[in-house]
Amino acid sequence: MLPRSLPVDGATRRLEGAPRVAVVGAGITGLIAARQLAADGAQVIVLERTERVGGQLQDATVAGHRVDVGAESVFTAAPGPLELIEELGLTDALVGARRATTWIRTRRGLRALPEGFTPAGPSRLGPVLRSRVLSPAGMLRAGLEPLLPAGRERGDLAVGAYLERRFGREVVDRLVDPLLGGLHAGDVHRLSLEAATPQLAALAAQHRSLLLRRRPAPSTGPMFVTLTTGMGTLTTRLAGTTPGVELRLATEVTQVERVGGTLQVSLAGGRTLAVDGVVMATPASIAARLLSEGSPTAAGELAQLRAASVVVTALAYPAAAGQVPAIAQGTGMLVPSTSQELLKAATFLSTKWPHHAAADQVLIRASAGRAGDDRAIQLDDDRLVTQLHHELAEATGLSVEPVDAAVRRWPRTMPQLEVGHRARLTTIRSALTRDLPGVVVAGAPYHGPGLSSCLRSAATAATALATALEESRA
């Protein structure tokens, strides 16, 4: 465990008149924002309620093996994460995912996710037609997409509504829902096209047909990578190697407000900090509570940003489980919400990741929980593990029981970027600029889940705050 307080770098301490900034939350977003602000010359204090850094970058031990139970991997096509890994000297721990089948759970058994199918829908029709996921009528409807006129939608709309209009209901229910809905733990009929899938929104604006558009050449390298040391290594390395940042663990913030023209951060126990700027790198529900006195308007909007509760369970099975064809031939399984099963997705870690393949057990990561479905978070560990194992066995043919399990609960942490999301963000930022100048929000609740989104959000917030501080001192 890191020490509860790391001293401010001496060079920064000597900067006369340097702005003092508090960053609330020591997840990847908060630490990256702190790093950028310190590099710009600010004196930065990171305040973390728990006794560890990392936020949702966390691992657990199951049958003696360390398994990520928060964010599991990095999408290599997204900008930022690979550069950060290199900067932190972690490239030796980088490993690529093996290319194998991702299964879709259907009423007729497991079917392969069509090649080229992404969270933004299909990029090629042939693999979708050959996948046997759709009915003949569904395949015919999907094949009509190139013949449809370009959409002329105005304003934001749901991803599900747009893709249903282009490809039909079956593509949405049987493919988009388990992939995109599973990624966001949400309802594709509520997720915002422009906020949750900005790349799809751009394609929709630029091309008459999603299938006929020119596509980039497929990548020859792995699409996803992870760290053999665990994804949490990113945040522990950041916390230990960023000069000019003071880290205070086990320090709870109770309110952020302006008192007598000065930003004040109140801490549990009655202590306060006077600062020039604040980065709120917390879940939206926590930000809403901490800003309730300083900006009721912003807090009210923040409280309206929904977040799903999810549970990640790491399961260890005897080696014989690796002989099950579905597990031996696939990297994981996606489950549509229409199935009403508890299981949302499963990753066959021993198949997907080379460093887990050497384990003497077969490791599987099972995820549960969606927006509007809190069954998983309400079950105790034993009942949760039993039910998830039962659904895994029913889908894959597993005939052995798990020998160990580890459960990690994430209450209200999966942000739902629903229709109207960007308009709500505009209201939040405007209210903060008016009521609490010098306070900015950053993280997954505003730009979406995924390491790349968090890095971009952190950089945007740090830049906006640095600009505001400079203007206030001019």
pLDDT digit string (tens) for 383-394?
A: 999 999 999 999
Would the pLDDT of 20 be above 90?
yes
- Residue 221's pLDDT is what? 66
Parts of the chain belonging to CATH 3.50.50.60:
5-55+232-305+417-473
- Residue 218's pLDDT is what? 60
Mean pLDDT, residues 10-22 taken together:
65
Parts of the chain belonging to CATH 1.10.3110.10:
109-206
Say if CB 352 and CB 332 are below 8 A apart: yes
Parts of the chain belonging to CATH 3.90.660.20:
59-79+87-99+308-415
Task: Give the SS3 label for residue 144.
Answer: coil
Superfamily the domain 5-55+232-305+417-473 falls into: FAD/NAD(P)-binding domain (3.50.50.60)
Superfamily the domain 59-79+87-99+308-415 falls into: Protoporphyrinogen oxidase, mitochondrial; domain 2 (3.90.660.20)
In whole angstroms, what is the distance from residue 91 CA to residue 179 CA?
29
109-206 CATH fold: protoporphyrinogen ix oxidase, domain 3 (1.10.3110)
In this prediction, residue 452 has a pLDDT band, given cuts at 50, 70 and 90, of: very high
Say if CB 162 and CB 151 are below 8 A apart: yes
Say if CB 175 and CB 408 are below 8 A apart: no
In whole angstroms, what is the distance from residue 89 CA to residue 45 CA?
24
Say if CB 356 and CB 330 are below 8 A apart: no
- Residue 3's pLDDT is what? 33
In whole angstroms, what is the distance from residue 47 CA to residue 31 CA?
10
**Predicted confidence (pLDDT) per residue in 52-107, tens digit:** 999 999 999 999 999 999 999 998 888 799 999 999 999 999 999 998 899 999 98
DSSP codes joined into one string, 311-334 = EEEEEEE-GGGGGSHHHHSEEEEE
Would the pLDDT of 151 be above 80?
no
In this prediction, residue 459 has a pLDDT band, given cuts at 50, 70 and 90, of: very high
Spell out the residues 6+ positions from residue 260 whose beta carbon is closer than 8 angstroms to its own: none
Token couple for 110? 């497991």
Q: How far is CA 375 from the centre of its chain?
A: 21
**Predicted confidence (pLDDT) per residue in 244-274, tens digit:** 899 999 999 999 999 988 999 999 999 999 9
- Residue 124's pLDDT is what? 77
In whole angstroms, what is the distance from residue 248 CA to residue 45 CA?
7
In this prediction, residue 4 has a pLDDT band, given cuts at 50, 70 and 90, of: very low
Q: How far is CA 140 from the centre of its chain?
A: 34
Would the pLDDT of 10 be above 50?
no
